[in-house]
Amino acid sequence: MKKILFLIIATLLLTKSYGQDKQSTSISRYVKTPTGYLMVLRAGDHIFEAMEALAEKEQIPSANFYGMGFAGSVTFGFYDFNKKQFNPKEFKRVEMGSLTGSIGWTKGKPSLHIHGVATDADFKAYGGHVLAMTVGTGSMEITVTVHNEKLERKVEQPLNANVLQLDSEK
């Protein structure tokens, strides 16, 4: 009887613990550093959602960031200047050897500009403007360096590109 009771309690505890671990893997984690933040994303996290949430919650005026880790899926875009749009291409299960970007603001919302280089299992490299990315098995580590001044992005013509604006009076 004691063994059955022990097995039932152990099963309940393991089930509860597994559920908590499963839930916590979808939550972005970050800590404050002297220059900004260190963020560790987990499998299934969407990089744009996580970075925008960090910028909003911490009211980051502007920042640059770099990172690395495993992507379950990344969509790169190559900008077609004639069509004024990105030609997207998706890659699955790749290592992000380099991830760089900036945080600005557009109409009161965080605006991200991200580039990256990824390699596949054959060590072929792909890269460009990141349009979407989901973290794969493992994690994605991102270091965010915060700047004091709030910077805005505005669409500039004739490229129709969203460009970070610098205050020319300072």
pLDDT tens string 14-28:
333 333 333 344 454
Would you give the DSSP letter of residue 169? T
* More confident call, 161 vs 53: 53
pLDDT tens string 36-94:
999 999 999 999 999 999 999 999 999 999 999 999 999 999 999 898 899 999 999 99
pLDDT for 3: 53
Q: What is the mean pLDDT of the chain?
A: 85
Percent above pLDDT 90 for the chain: 70
Q: What is the CATH number of domain 27-160?
A: 3.30.1330.80
Q: CA distances (Å), 21 to each of 7, 10, 25, in order? A: 21, 16, 6
CB atoms within 10 A of CB 88: 13
pLDDT for 162: 85
Return the closest-CA partner of residue 103 out of 150, 71, 140: 150
pTM: 0.79
Distance CA 147, CA 140 (A): 22
Asked if pLDDT for residue 12 goes beyond 50, the answer is no
Would you give the DSSP letter of residue 27? S
pLDDT for 84: 87
